[in-house]
Amino acid sequence: MRKTISTKVVYENKYFRVSEDRFIHPHDEEEGSYAYVEKSTAVVVVALDEADRIFFVKQYRYTVDAESVELPIGKVEGNEPPLEGAKRELLEETGLSASSWNLLGVLWEVPGWSSSSAYVYLARGLSRSSRRLEHTERDMTDTTISLAEVRGMIAAGEIRDCLTISSLCLHMMQG
């Protein structure tokens, strides 16, 4: 294991913090530095309707200047358990609640530069109410897509979000 000498916060806002550590490398005892992003734990929901179609959201993403097709994804707030965060995000983004929840797995989002992980849940037994979108999600729409169509969309580059694709892989491996 590495030995951390010091940690300096380089930048921080309400969404994430960028830190830089000075450390002793565990293999050669050399001193080094490493910058990384710390953010809240994420939750991802693979929500299946009675015909096994998957619910997706579409929204504009500023960083890639394009619309993105994604599973419902959000962050755990405060000390909220990941399952409660998943339930809240599914309701906010799609207006759906589910009677059955199963943890599919926990993913490291981008371990090369972030310490964040994502809990991936399968939701079934869906019922619809009204969405509770945040202001930044005002352009978000939701849709259902069959798994066969999803595979084609991934192959065609129409679904490019890494958390979405890896969460779908977890679902397909366990389904």
Report, as residue numbers or ranges, the catalytic residues.
137
Distances from the Cα of 11 to the Cα of 21, 110, 153, 158, angstroms? 13, 19, 36, 33
- The total of other beta-carbon atoms located within 10 Å of residue 12's CB is 11
CA dihedral 139, 145, 169, 86 (to 10 degrees): 50
